[in-house]
Amino acid sequence: MSNSNERSRTFETKQLSRRGFMAYSWGLGLTSTVLSGVLWAKVTDDKVPQVTKEMLQQAERLAALEFTDDERELMVEGLNKYLEKYRKLREVSLDNSVAPAVQFNPVPAGMTFEKKAGRLRVSKRQRRKVPSDLEDLAFWPVTDLARLIKSRKVSSTELTNMYLDRLKRYDPKLKCVVTLTEELALKQAKRADEEIAAGHYRGPLHGIPWGAKDLLAVKGYRTTWGAMPYKDQVFDSDATVVKRLEAARAVLVAKLTLGALAWGDVWFGGKTRNPWDPDNGSSGSSAGPASATAAALVGFSIGSETHGSIVSPCTVCGTTGLRPTFGRVSRHGAMALSWSMDKIGPICRTVEDCALVLAAIGGPDGKDSTVVDMPFSWDASVDAKGLKVGYIKSAFEEKRSDEQWKANDQATLDVLRGLGLKLIPIELPDYPIDAMGLILNVEAAAAFDEITRSGKDELMVRQIKNAWPNRFREARMVPAVEYVQANRLRTLVMNAMQEKLTGIDAYVCPSWVGRNLLLTNLTGHPAVVLPNGLRKEGTPSSISFVGRLFGEEKVLALAKAYQDATSFHLKHPTL
């Protein structure tokens, strides 16, 4: 955090100095250079700061460029004109919900899809006796809970009260709840029961209690984004995902934590805990949804992923998560972090639960223009033996510090082969994927431009090198040309992935090894993450399955086949 002298400055003075500094940095960025931090004093000395040749020469180092003195002379006048342009642009307030006019499309040129009508065929499960203690239902998957509700053996109101009680009991230990939506939940549960009693059953999510990552707007309730500057923020409309789950008659019981502005597991109320090991965090940024689902405080939850925010917390909490294809689910009403990478998806107890939730939330809404009208089908009886499956050979062979996790991953391959699948070794495209991560940072800095320029970033809890306040500032130093170049390289990676996956329905890879996680978030491919064993300390490990663009049906079928052949998803933490 800033020192006491800085905190004593007036907000207006702080805002003026930030604005002056950022005006320089973006002016130089558009000419493939940036303003060095050593120029801070020079920038804030004058009310109307001017770019000089001396400033430009120092700033060239940050962009790894070198101009001649004559070239600098030619540039100075134009850079100062840019400052006035920035001032005019900033006179227009840009809300976080306003997306850039330039949109990302993950589909390579020439790629085609079958657009068969969507259908939903749920698995036939053995009938289970209703336990005498209703709380014994807490860990049941949606597929089983739905049968009880449909047959009216258990009411939605009973389930809702049970989960609300667990949320109140365990949240003090796990810190996974921002806001209980108890009044709304009981109203929705009552309506769900009344409709079922009248013969109007709407499907497998009818009456199922769920929790929303607190970057989804819910009318009348706080939507805090996990960050102190937004802790009292309230929207007057619902996010599309919230509306669709209400239409499916799911029951919203809580708004769940996320790491501040979707990074990590630390929010303004503390650190969200891992139910398997409450001394440690639940990873992030979908920290609350994964923790609450693992601890059976909800029937299912909704998370989001930009770079691992579903895969990572599902891994440490032992839950099953689906990161859909970019453009499959509307993000309207959700906090924007990276317009070209953000994706919303379910966190559940089984693969099939994820499929049922995706069927309810996917598809265009006329509000998020990146969403593609692509039908989704789910048939639980599909035989995975007919799938062509690859695996990232080098990632499975890579040396690791956690040998037990590596052994669990190798055992996963054995299970798949035991199912009759012939695994095809493949490798990911060889490009500097880590370097392309600047795309995320730059878009995030733009999404939260106002809190950086105003100084409100100092209100954020985490003020360390690897946290958003610092990353937002760093990203202001990235030349605009380099951001565009990174996206051009992204096109090459997308085309290369299309070639790699030709003839393959899906592939399996370690969740945290190699470049797969960032690469597939950049290319927009869907992924399913699920537990594949326990580590030496008794906490879960996970495996990831990645599918073709809009190929959720097949990658979910593959993941379900693996999950049905194992029992790791049935293991629960003891609170």
Task: List, by residue number, the catalytic residues.
Answer: 213, 285, 309
Nearest to 143 by CA among 440, 355, 435, 344: 355
Cα gap 426→439, rounded to integer Å: 26
Helix (H) or strand (E) holding 424: strand 423-426
- In the numeric block, the tokens 């009680």 are attached to 165
Supply the Cα-derived Rg of the chain in whole angstroms: 25
Q: Write out the two tokens for 211.
A: 């929790």
**434: how many CB neighbours lie within 10 A of its CB?**
10
Cα gap 225→310, rounded to integer Å: 16
Helix (H) or strand (E) holding 485: helix 480-500
Q: Count the helices and strands in the chain (H runs, E runs).
A: 20, 17
Whether the CB-CB separation of 560 and 351 falls below 8 Å is answered with yes
- In the numeric block, the tokens 């669990």 are attached to 408
For the beta sheet containing 389-392, the strands, ordered from the edge strand earlier in sequence to the opposite edge, are: 177-180, 251-256, 209-213, 300-305, 343-348, 320-323, 527-534, 540-547, 506-510, 389-392, 423-426
Whether the CB-CB separation of 459 and 11 falls below 8 Å is answered with no
Cα gap 272→263, rounded to integer Å: 12
Q: Where are the beta strands (DSSP E) in 69-113?
A: none
Helix (H) or strand (E) holding 454: helix 449-454
Nearest to 445 by CA among 339, 323, 311: 339
Cα gap 326→329, rounded to integer Å: 8
Q: Where are the beta strands (DSSP E) in 273-411?
A: 273-274, 277-281, 300-305, 320-323, 343-348, 378-379, 389-392
Nearest to 327 by CA among 503, 19, 505, 549: 549
Helix, strand, coil shares of the chain as percentages rounded to 5?
Answer: 45, 15, 40
Cα gap 562→115, rounded to integer Å: 27
Q: Which residues contact 292 (CB under 8 A, 6 or more apart)?
A: 167, 174, 176, 177, 211, 254, 256, 298, 301
Question: What residue type is 221 in one-letter code?
Answer: Y
- In the numeric block, the tokens 């699948």 are attached to 421
Q: Write out the two tokens for 526.
A: 């869907």
